[in-house]
């Protein structure tokens, strides 16, 4: 009996699932806490919960991970030298510390705009070669002509031997600076991804698993490990993509909306006829705009670990997030004696109360090495323990009767040097008896400690928190489905002020550990079919496995008029992957473009293990007409879809959102 293994290393949990290839059934699942800073430990723990005999019968492993995303967000990539070729418009901030701008580049027709200043390239490469692990290069209009990027790559390899990433290898979209950022980030990630992959392959070997390793991209497709090592930047945001593919698979639907309830945030996305809806503008990660094609998603800053708190506010406002904390219920399970410590903690003096100084907030050191701390930060950091949480009163005593500053605690949290512990939606579910993974009594005590600030008892606070989480999820879904709608109007409709309700005509699939707990509350806010399939708590890992079989590329045809002596000649240029072809007729150019697109997609998909007869390729065209018989420009977008090992049913593609009178509606 053959099996496939899906793994998702998320922000809070790492999930692993086994799917039986014979019938596509999920037969086993494992869930372990994600380990930081190295996620391999959590992966080992989740795999360790599965049947060893079944693991030896696995022939495909597919992985989605937050490794690339976290590396960029934490600015922990390897040092890279960036070379930009051409007349760039450079913003005030550039991701690279070591970069240069040299003469060269091409125009929109692929003609050389300026000669490449190869001497400047050589000078820069030699000056930084001992301080970088790789180089990245992006040239103006390299998607039309990659000659200058390739010449820079050749020169750097000759002089330094360091790997070089070219912008045209990662994106076919215009935007040389964005391609430069993409190439730079990709170069930073290559050594990290290589070491990570090496560890995973070693673990597979120890288990006795002789399987093909794939990695999920942020567009919902899986690629061979060779391509993932070349383009690790494309694995950013693979978690939401895995959730979406898992939601479709577990529900048996090709068209559905997905709400993925995570620890830090909740992601919302849509899949239509088996294809995720894409964001053509490119993914934004760590504040940097890239040219990486990713699924279009809405991220709501609310998750199971969001901090729920109130300060000394006369309006009695209760805040939900965006800070992520460890739930009190989990802390009580991890640290013997924490329950008693929580019970003893008092309310701090009112003038010191803040999100970071409360009777229910504690701190413990993380495994991240301390770097770039101020004197005050170092002072506070040194009085926080590594093996048991400390409260504000502990710190007060250790600082010789001085209160730690909220700003200092906040800075240490942002640097991930200390982990805050506090009351969360997960604790609220424990109080309500709807999720009892850890210590319920700690959740109750934590809520009671905040009564003088929230003006609610433990059960009232739990109910309020749960409803607010559901409100944020429903609001995020509507904002996603109706681009441009104002958030305040969505919230008014959801609150019932307009005597109106949203009706969503695609099924909504809830994914994540506590997903079943929120189905009723979301159903009270919007009219929709809401599903929480079996194994929805490990839907991300399922999606990491079933997401293979999609590949996209674009080919451009551009009309060009030029003078050949006294004659004006009209020609048609075909651009793809930094190469161009010239034709005398539009028909010839179009035929060549179709051939290029089909051949390119097919070759990429065959590398994922699919066969020719399992792949279907379609294309759509967008043209710019200027009055003549032939278009001035034609963009042909190709999408290859592979027949999955695990087929899912089809359904209709309906209109998405309607406004209806709630008194005339019937909730499903």
8 Å CB contact between 232 and 71: no
End-to-end CA distance of the chain: 39
Q: Interior CA angle at 230 toward 227 and 233, to 5°?
A: 100
Q: 373-396: b or e for each residue (b if 16 or more CB lie within 10 Å)?
A: beeebebbbeebeeebbbbbbbbb
8 Å CB contact between 534 and 241: no
The DSSP output letter for 97 is S
Q: Interior CA angle at 277 toward 226 and 176, to 5°?
A: 60
- Measured CA to CA, the distance from residue 190 to residue 196 in angstroms comes to 10
Q: What is the CA radius of gyration of the chain?
A: 27
- Measured CA to CA, the distance from residue 491 to residue 488 in angstroms comes to 5
Q: Return the number of other C-beta atoms located less than 10 Å from residue 152's C-beta.
A: 27
Return the pLDDT at 548: 58
- Measured CA to CA, the distance from residue 602 to residue 616 in angstroms comes to 9
Residue 395 DSSP SS3? helix
Q: Interior CA angle at 457 toward 452 and 458, to 5°?
A: 115
- All structural domains of the chain, each given as residue ranges with its CATH number in brackets, are 80-189 (3.30.420), 310-425+444-458 (no CATH), 550-642 (no CATH)
Cβ contacts of residue 611 below 8 Å, gap of 6+? none
Nearest to 648 by CA among 532, 549, 541, 522: 549
Residue 148 DSSP SS3? helix
Could you give the count of Cα atoms lying within 13 Å of 443 in the half-sphere of its Cβ?
Answer: 30
Cβ contacts of residue 658 below 8 Å, gap of 6+? 502, 503, 505
Residues in the chain: 668
8 Å CB contact between 80 and 71: no
Cβ contacts of residue 351 below 8 Å, gap of 6+? none
8 Å CB contact between 274 and 242: no
For residue 368, how far is the Cα from the chain centroid?
22
CA quadruple 325, 329, 334, 340: dihedral, nearest 10 = 110
The DSSP output letter for 112 is B
Return the pLDDT at 653: 30
Q: Please state at what angle helix 487-495 crosses helix 458-481, rounded to 10 degrees.
A: 130
The runs of H, that is alpha helices, within 508-557 are: 515-525, 539-546
- Measured CA to CA, the distance from residue 242 to residue 6 in angstroms comes to 10
- pLDDT averaged per 10 residues, the chain (length 668): 88 88 88 83 91 91 82 78 88 83 90 93 94 92 90 94 89 83 89 86 87 84 81 83 90 92 86 84 74 83 90 83 91 95 92 94 90 90 95 95 94 91 96 92 96 93 95 93 90 89 94 89 93 90 79 88 78 89 93 94 81 87 82 90 58 42 36
8 Å CB contact between 15 and 536: no
The secondary structure element, H or E, covering residue 352 is none
The secondary structure element, H or E, covering residue 74 is none
Q: Interior CA angle at 391 toward 390 and 397, to 5°?
A: 90
Cβ contacts of residue 629 below 8 Å, gap of 6+? none
8 Å CB contact between 423 and 330: no
Return the pLDDT at 439: 95
8 Å CB contact between 510 and 259: yes
The secondary structure element, H or E, covering residue 4 is strand 3-9
Return the pLDDT at 663: 42
- Measured CA to CA, the distance from residue 408 to residue 660 in angstroms comes to 50
The runs of H, that is alpha helices, within 61-117 are: 67-73
- Measured CA to CA, the distance from residue 117 to residue 124 in angstroms comes to 11
Q: Is the backbone of residue 128 left (phi > 0), alpha (psi -120 to 50) or beta? A: alpha
Max distance between CA atoms of the chain, in angstroms, equals 93
8 Å CB contact between 327 and 443: yes
The secondary structure element, H or E, covering residue 381 is helix 375-381
8 Å CB contact between 531 and 251: yes
SS3 letters across 221-277: CEEEHHHHHHCHHHHCCHHHHHHHHHHHHHHCCCCEEEEEECCCCEEEEEEECCEEC
pTM of the predicted model, to two decimals?
0.79
SS3 letters across 644-665: CCCCCCCCCCCCCEEEECHHHC
- Measured CA to CA, the distance from residue 96 to residue 84 in angstroms comes to 11
Q: Interior CA angle at 275 toward 472 and 544, to 5°?
A: 75
8 Å CB contact between 261 and 255: no
Q: Is the backbone of residue 499 left (phi > 0), alpha (psi -120 to 50) or beta? A: left
């Amino acid at each position: 009996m053959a099996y496939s293994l899906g793994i998702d290393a998320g922000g809070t949990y790492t999930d692993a699932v086994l799917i039986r290839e014979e019938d596509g059934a999920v037969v086993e699942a494992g869930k372990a806490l994600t380990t930081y800073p190295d996620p391999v430990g959590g992966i080992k723990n989740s795999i360790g919960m599965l049947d060893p005999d079944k693991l030896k019968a696995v022939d495909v492993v597919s992985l989605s991970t937050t490794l690339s995303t976290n590396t960029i967000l934490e600015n922990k990539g390897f040092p890279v030298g960036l070379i930009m070729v051409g007349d760039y418009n450079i913003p005030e901030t550039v991701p690279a510390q070591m970069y240069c701008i040299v003469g060269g580049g091409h125009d929109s027709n692929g003609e050389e705009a300026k000669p490449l200043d190869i001497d400047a390239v050589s000078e820069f490469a030699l000056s930084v070669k001992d301080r970088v692990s790789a180089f990245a290069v992006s040239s103006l209009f390299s998607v039309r002509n990659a000659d200058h990027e390739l010449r820079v790559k050749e020169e750097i390899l000759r002089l330094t031997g360091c790997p070089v990433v070219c912008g045209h290898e990662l994106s076919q979209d215009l935007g040389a600076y964005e391609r430069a950022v993409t190439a730079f980030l990709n170069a930073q990630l290559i050594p990290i991804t290589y070491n990570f992959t090496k560890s995973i392959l070693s673990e597979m070997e120890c288990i006795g698993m002789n399987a093909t390793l794939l990695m999920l991209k942020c567009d919902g497709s899986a690629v061979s490990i060779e391509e993932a090592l070349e383009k690790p930047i494309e694995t950013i945001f693979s978690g939401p993509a895995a959730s979406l593919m898992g939601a479709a698979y577990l529900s048996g639907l090709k068209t559905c909306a997905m709400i993925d309830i995570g620890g830090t945030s909740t992601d919302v996305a849509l899949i239509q006829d088996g294809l995720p809806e894409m964001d053509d503008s490119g993914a934004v990660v760590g504040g940097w705009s890239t040219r990486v094609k990713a699924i279009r998603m809405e991220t709501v800053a609310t998750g199971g670990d969001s901090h729920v708190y109130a300060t000394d506010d006369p309006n009695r406002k209760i805040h939900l997030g965006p800070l992520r904390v460890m739930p009190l219920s989990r802390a009580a399970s991890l640290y013997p004696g924490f329950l008693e410590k929580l019970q003893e903690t008092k309310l701090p003096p009112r003038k010191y109360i803040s999100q970071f100084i409360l009777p229910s907030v504690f701190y413990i050191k993380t495994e991240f090495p301390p770097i770039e701390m101020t004197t005050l930060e170092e002072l506070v950091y040194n009085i926080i323990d590594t093996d048991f949480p400390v409260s504000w009163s502990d710190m007060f005593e250790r600082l010789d009767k001085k209160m730690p500053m909220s700003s200092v605690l906040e800075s240490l949290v942002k640097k991930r040097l200390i982990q805050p512990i506090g009351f969360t939606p997960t604790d609220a579910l424990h109080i309500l008896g709807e999720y009892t993974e850890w210590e319920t009594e700690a959740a109750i005590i934590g809520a009671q400690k905040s009564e003088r600030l929230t003006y609610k008892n433990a059960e009232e606070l739990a109910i309020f928190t749960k409803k607010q989480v559901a409100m944020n999820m429903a609001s995020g879904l509507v904002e996603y489905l109706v681009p441009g709608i104002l958030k305040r109007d969505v919230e008014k409709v959801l609150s019932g002020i307009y005597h109106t309700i949203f009706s969503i005509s695609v099924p909504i699939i809830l994914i994540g550990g506590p997903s079943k707990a929120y189905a009723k509350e979301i159903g009270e806010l919007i009219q929709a079919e809401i599903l929480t399939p079996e194994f929805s708590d490990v839907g991300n890992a399922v999606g990491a496995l079933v997401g293979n079989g999609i590949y996209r590329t674009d080919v451009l045809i551009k009309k060009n008029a030029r003078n050949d002596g006294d004659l004006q000649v009209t020609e048609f240029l075909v651009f793809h992957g930094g190469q161009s072809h010239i034709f005398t007729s539009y028909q010839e150019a179009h035929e060549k473009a179709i051939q290029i697109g089909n051949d390119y997609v097919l070759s990429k998909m065959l590398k994922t293990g699919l066969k020719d007869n399992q792949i279907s390729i379609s294309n759509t065209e967008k043209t710019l007409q200027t009055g003549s018989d032939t278009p001035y420009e034609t963009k042909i977008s190709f999408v290859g879809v592979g027949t999955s090992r695990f087929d899912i049913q089809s359904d209709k593609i309906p209109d998405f959102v309607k406004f209806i009178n709630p008194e005339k509606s019937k909730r499903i």
